[in-house]
Amino acid sequence: MTRMSFAEAARTALAEEMRRDPLVWALGEDLAQGGIFGQYKGLAEEFGPDRIVSTPISESAIMGAGLGAALCGTRPVIEMRIADFTLCAMDELVSQIAKVRYMFGGQGRAALVVRMPQGMWRNSAAQHSQCLEAWLTHIPGLVVAAPGTPADAAGLLKAAIRSDDPVVLMEPKNLWTAEGEVPEAVEPVALGVARQVAQGDAATVVTWSACVPVVEQGARDSGVACDVFDLRSLWPWDEAAVIASARRTGRLLVVHEAVTVSGFGAEVVARVVEALGPGGLRAVERLGAPRAPVPFSPPLEDAMRMTPARVVQAIRRVASARH
């Protein structure tokens, strides 16, 4: 194991995939300069301008060029800088990339990765801090993954690059500098398989992406023995593992950075309730952001942020609730 940052782990994984497969390449704004978070640092020097391509500032052109290149047989890694900017390229992603295999009877495939760093990051305000994951899980044809550790940043990126389906990788901006243990030989992480972080009978706690370290800390601080799952993939997601745990504990808490209203946590809760039937859960709760734009003001932004203390309170509420 080697200790490295989230950005370094992702950069190392991309470099290894580019060495393994000459059809893998990356395009986006400022990639030759290393990318906004340093996740492409040094790659232009090794692979040259034909495989680390700095593009004009046009998200729709970047997304469309990636699709065209994928249809021609290459495996593009499309960098959107931050998830909010993807809104300028939603037609290419939703109406073209997600549907091309279906529309052409499997004759064409969009084997590509769209990297969308999302969420809060050093007071980036309302137009640069959104979590759009629930939008994208709603779109048939897209695979959606959301790493929460440096090891999964590497393993999920490798899996995404090797997938024959288009994969949206929702990378948490707030974790780019976070460090963790990463295997020296990183293998692709199976899409749709959760990582169980902790075990316990008091409740089932589900999270992903930027909230993973927050929930891990909160679960430890709560003093309550819970099953804690890092989903890692939002579509497909590991329904079997979560449902089996909730059936045993009878209590469910879902924690995410995104707005609670219509967030992916609602899908998790709905599927568990459908599977367990009436009375299958003694307590259930979603913990997420209020339905409000993310403020620029640091104190106001902090008021919207998930914290271990909020997780502690939620775990204790769910674990102690009576049917």
* CATH number, domain containing residue 230: 3.40.50.920
Q: Does 76 map to a domain?
A: yes
Q: Could you tell me if 144 and 226 lie in one domain?
A: no
Asked which of 126, 157, 182 is the last residue of a domain, the reply is: 182
Is there a single domain that holds both residue 176 and residue 205?
no
For the chain, the 3-state helix, strand and coil shares in percent, each to the nearest 5, are 40, 20, 40
| CA neighbor of 219 nearest in space, from 247, 186, 197 | 197
Of 117-121, 133-137, 213-217, the one with minimum mean pLDDT is 117-121
pLDDT digits (tens, 9 = 90+) for 247-273: 999 999 999 999 999 999 999 999 999
Residue at which a domain ends, from 152, 182, 212: 182
Please report whether residue 305 resides in a domain: yes
Rounded mean pLDDT of 201-206?
A: 98
Question: Is residue 70 located within the same domain as residue 6?
Answer: yes
- Do 227 and 308 lie in one domain? The reply is yes
In a domain, 233, yes or no: yes
pLDDT score, position 41: 96
> Looking at the annotation, which residues are catalytic?
128
Residues 152 and 207 in one domain: no
Q: Are 51 and 168 part of one and the same domain?
A: yes
For 92-115, how does the pLDDT look when each residue is reduced to its tens digit (9 = 90+)? 999 999 999 999 998 999 999 999
In this prediction, residue 323 has a pLDDT band, given cuts at 50, 70 and 90, of low
Q: What CATH number does the domain containing 124 carry?
A: 3.40.50.970
pLDDT digit string, tens, across residues 7-51: 999 999 999 999 999 999 999 999 999 998 999 999 999 999 999
The tally of domains found in the chain comes to 2
Residues 6+ apart with CB under 8 A from 192: 233, 236, 237, 238
pLDDT at 129 over 90: no
Q: Is residue 316 part of a domain?
A: yes
Whether 189 is in a domain gets the answer no
Note whether 146 and 232 are same-domain residues.
no
Query: Does any domain span residue 81?
Result: yes
- Are 223 and 302 members of one domain? yes
CB burial of 21-42 (b: ≥16 within 10 Å; e: otherwise) equals eebbbbbbbebbebbbbbbbee
Last residue of a domain, one of 126, 159, 182: 182
Question: Is residue 28 located within the same domain as residue 133?
Answer: yes
For residue 29, tell me if it sits in a domain: yes
For residue 54, the cross-strand partners are 28
Query: What are the structure tokens assigned to 210, written together?
Result: 């930027």
Tens of pLDDT, residues 148-161: 999 999 999 999 99
pTM confidence score: 0.96
| 142 lies in the same domain as 264 | no
Domain of residue 202: give its range: 195-320
Whether 9 and 119 share a structural domain: yes
Residue-by-residue DSSP string for 188-256: PPPTT--EEEE--SS-EEEE-TTHHHHHHHHHHHHT---EEEE--EEES--HHHHHHHHHHH-EEEEEE
Compare 241 and 321 and report the one with higher pLDDT.
241
Do 178 and 207 lie in one domain? The reply is no
pLDDT recorded at residue 124: 85
Domain assignment of residue 71, yes or no: yes
Question: How far is residue 273's CA from residue 196's CA, in Å, rounded to a whole number?
Answer: 21
In the 8-state DSSP scheme, what is residue 141? T
